[in-house]
Amino acid sequence: MAKPTYQELLDAGVHFGHLKRKWNPKMSPNIFMEKKGIHIIDLNRTGEGLDRAANAMRQIAKSGKKIMFVATKKQARVIVEEAARSVNMPFVTDRWLGGMMTNFTTIRKSVKKMQNIEKMLADSTLQITKKERLTLSREHARMQKVLGGIAELNRLPSAVFIVDIGHEHLALSEAKRLGLRTFGMVDTNCDPNLVDFSIPANDDAARSIAIVTNYMVEAIREGLSERKEN
């Protein structure tokens, strides 16, 4: 598992924070300097955060538990979905439904409904009109968009990995309420103390999101491989 080099992090723009006026003072230890009114993240701190998060994720995966990926920002959706799918981990990339974890039983019922509609649409012997089929197809597509990433999740995950903890505050709040371990990309406008494993990084640029997320996925893949060997 090759950790991103300092130069690779630099090239991906991981060091670019927010405007100084938007900063969260609790991010102060992770800020290297200010340049033209923008805070620059200390990539040495990013490296430390990557190490801690990757080691913890590898252990969780090795124990056979699930890590949910959460990223509903447009520039992160495809990156995070593909990354989570590659290691068979649940993900939420469309929108976070209130109670997605704290009211998991109700969410599971919605998933079951979605799966039943899927079976109905696949059943060629089912006698339904074109209009009814169209209505069912639309409902399935709508539900798949929101719930597709957690369709195979039969129990609560053990941890969540969040891109932009400020944007995904509802997911973070639910995870903390349930005592799940929390991992997050934390930009200069957020409080790193809100997550168990913070990775100081630019959470807006696609390349930055990709380099951090893919490294987390490699750690998970390594953990799954170790589990298989054992």
pLDDT tens for residues 66-112?
A: 999 999 999 999 999 999 999 999 999 999 999 999 999 999 999 99
The pLDDT mean for the chain works out to: 96
Q: Answer whether residue 138 shows pLDDT above 90.
A: yes
Q: pLDDT, tens digit, for every residue of 29-39?
A: 999 999 999 99
Read off the pTM. Answer: 0.94
In a domain, 1, yes or no: no
In the chain, the N- to C-terminal Cα span, in Å, equals: 19
Tell me, yes or no, whether 123 and 163 share the same domain. Answer: no
Tell me, yes or no, whether 49 and 113 share the same domain. Answer: no
Tell me, yes or no, whether 15 and 69 share the same domain. Answer: yes
Tell me, yes or no, whether 181 and 136 share the same domain. Answer: no
CA dist 95 and 71 (Å) reads: 8
Tell me, yes or no, whether 202 and 162 share the same domain. Answer: yes
Kindly give, in sequence order, each residue whose CB lies less than 8 Å from that of residue 82, ignoring residues fewer than 6 positions away.
none
Q: Which two tokens stand for residue 216?
A: 């987390």
Residue 20's pLDDT is 93
The enclosing H or E element of 177 equals helix 169-177
Q: pLDDT, tens digit, for every residue of 8-59?
A: 999 999 999 999 999 999 999 999 999 999 999 999 999 999 999 999 999 9
Q: Which two tokens stand for residue 87?
A: 């290691």
Tell me, yes or no, whether 18 and 53 share the same domain. Answer: yes
Q: Looking at residue 194, what DSSP letter applies? A: G
User: Hey, which bits of 81-135 come out as E strands?
Assistant: 91-92
Q: Which two tokens stand for residue 55?
A: 């080691």
- Number of domains making up the chain: 2
Q: Answer whether residue 1 shows pLDDT above 90.
A: no
CA-nearest of 157, 151, 199 to 178 is: 157
Tell me, yes or no, whether 79 and 110 share the same domain. Answer: no
Q: Answer whether residue 198 shows pLDDT above 80.
A: yes
Q: Answer whether residue 129 shows pLDDT above 90.
A: no
Q: Structural domain of residue 32, as residue ranges?
A: 6-101+156-229
In a domain, 38, yes or no: yes
Q: Which two tokens stand for residue 169?
A: 């505050």
Tell me, yes or no, whether 165 and 217 share the same domain. Answer: yes
